[in-house]
Amino acid sequence: MKSRNEVNSLQDLRKIYQKWRGTPYRYGGVGEQGMDCSAFTRTMYQEAYGMSLPRSTYEQVEMGRQIAKSELRPGDLVFFRTGGGNQHNGVYVGDGSFAHASSSVGVTISRLDNVYWRSRYWQSRRLL
């Protein structure tokens, strides 16, 4: 059973996701015209928790503490290695899913067990 704080966090995250859903992906973008993955996680954290994250995925992966995938709770960050030294990240929103700015479809929700994401999963981090 989810704690009251987890439920509130999940509801807040889903509301914020709905606000940004479909925003196009734009490398280096930080707003409604387009945003990249680290800008999206930064925006989610600012709007949900009033917490300011660094701008890049490379800096965000240094924050908080690493946790096992089995320990994920809404609000945790998930990181992926997508090839060529590139990294991608998103915010876990429960039920095996994470919200992120996808380079192919913009801001969306994907499943961690999706073949693409499962094979590129790197680590999860808890900041809260």
- Find the catalytic residue in 37, 48, 77, 99: 37
Q: Please, what CATH class does the domain formed by 4-126 belong to? A: alpha beta
- Find the catalytic residue in 13, 100, 107, 117: 100
Count CB atoms within 10 A of the CB of residue 53.
21
pLDDT tens digit sequence for 74-88: 999 999 999 998 999
14 is catalytic: no
pLDDT tens digit sequence for 9-55: 788 899 999 999 999 999 999 999 999 999 999 999 999 999 999 99
pLDDT tens digit sequence for 75-127: 999 999 999 989 999 999 999 999 999 999 999 999 999 999 999 999 999 99
Which pTM does this prediction carry?
Answer: 0.93
- Find the catalytic residue in 25, 79, 88, 112: 88
120 is catalytic: no
37 is catalytic: yes
Cα 113 from Cα 54, distance rounded (Å): 27
Cα 14 from Cα 94, distance rounded (Å): 10
